[in-house]
Amino acid sequence: MFGRNGPSTIQTLMAESNFVDYVKICCRSGKGGAGCMHFLRDKHTAKGGPDGGDGGHGGNIILQGNSNLWTLLHLKYRKHVIAVPGGNGESGLRKGKDGKNEIVEVPLGTVAKDAETGEVLFEVTKHGEKHVLSAGGRGGLGNYHFKTAVNQAPTHSQPGESGKEEWRILELKILADVGLVGFPNAGKSTLLSVVTAAKPEIAAYPFTTLVPNLGIVEYRDYKSFVMADIPGIIEGAHEGKGLGTRFLRHIERNATLLFLVPATSENIKEEYNILLRELKLHNKELSAKSRILAITKCDLVDDATLKDIKKKLPRVPHVFISSAAQKGLEELKDKLWDIINKDLE
C-alpha cells in the first residue's frame, strides 16, 4: 500500500517517532584511587610507622528501573556514560573518597547485553531495582597494610584498579498483561482505542502502528490491566520481513496473548496458525503463554457467516467482538481478566 517507497517510508516514520527500544552505549566506570605511601611525622614523632590510607573505589555505572519511563529515547544520543574516579588515599590512614556512581534510569522491561558477545547480563523489571552495568575499579591499599614483623617500614602502596570501558546494548521489551497479536489491519489499534484511553493512529492501510502502544483497561470494581498493541505481524516476520523481529521481542514480556483475526478473513484458522507459527519460530517459549482468539469486525458479516465461522475455529478460547459496534467487549474483558489472574495463581 506504501508503493515502491514503502520500506523507506516506514523507516522514516519510525525514525521520527519518540519510541526508542534499542541503544548501544559505551560505559566507562571510574578508576580506583591510589593507595598512599606515607609515614607518621609530627612534633612528637620523628620516625613513626606507615599511615598511608587506601584509595577510594571508582564509581559504578548502575541501571535503575523507573516505572514512569516507557522508552529509551533519553539515551538515544548519549553514546558515552562515564562514572567518577575514586580519590587517592591520604596520610593519617585517611581513605580516599569513593567515586560517585553514575545512575542511568531505564523503563521496566529493559534488558542489558554485552555488545561483543550478545550475552544477557540482567533484566530490569521492578521500579527502583538496581543493577551494576559496569563496575568501577577498586581502590589501592595504602602502605599501612604492608607492615609486617619483618618489614616495619614498607615503602610501597597499591595503585588503584583501572575502570572498565565496555560497550553495552540496552533493549526494551514492553511489559504488559495482554499483548495484541495479529496481521496488519486486524483491528488491534481500534480495540485498544475503545477499551483504553490510548489514542493510537488508525487507518485503513498496513503498518499503521509502527511502535508499540500501551493502554490501561478499566475493569470492574476499580480493577485494571495493561494492554499493548504490537505492530502487525506478517508471514516471515521471524526472518525480518515487514517490521520483523524489531517488535516481536515485545511480545515476550506479555503475560497473555490476544490473537485478533477479522471475521472478513478468508481462512481464520489458517491466519491464526500462521501467527502462532511466527511467534514459535521467533521464540519457542511463546507457545507456552496463555492465549485467546478474538474474531474482530463481526459487524461486517451476517449471522449466517458467523455461524459458519464458529464451526471452523481452532481449539482455543475465543470471543466474537466488534470494536466499532461495541459488541462482545465486556465478555472479552472477563475472559482476559480470568486468564491473567489464573496465570498469577
Query: Which region holds residue 249: left if phi is over 0, alpha if psi is between -120 and 50, else beta?
Result: alpha
Q: Where are the domains of the chain?
A: 16-172, 176-344
For residues 28-42, give the mean pLDDT: 94
CATH of region 16-172, choose from 1.10.3720.10, 2.70.210.12, 3.40.50.2000, 2.60.40.1230 = 2.70.210.12
**Span 139-179, pLDDT tens digits:** 999 999 999 989 989 999 999 999 999 999 999 887 788 98
pLDDT value, residue 11: 38
Supply the mean pLDDT for the chain: 83
Proportion of the chain above pLDDT 90, given as a percent: 49
Q: Which residue is listed with cell 478473513?
A: 265
Highest-pLDDT range among 4-13, 68-77, 165-174, 201-210: 165-174
What is the CATH code for 176-344? 3.40.50.300
**Span 71-120, pLDDT tens digits:** 888 898 888 999 999 999 999 999 999 999 999 999 888 999 999 999 99
pLDDT value, residue 244: 44
Fold agreement (16-172, 176-344) = no
Cβ neighbours of residue 269 closer than 8 Å, sequence gap 6 or more: 312, 313, 314
Helix count (H) and strand count (E) of the chain?
A: 6, 14
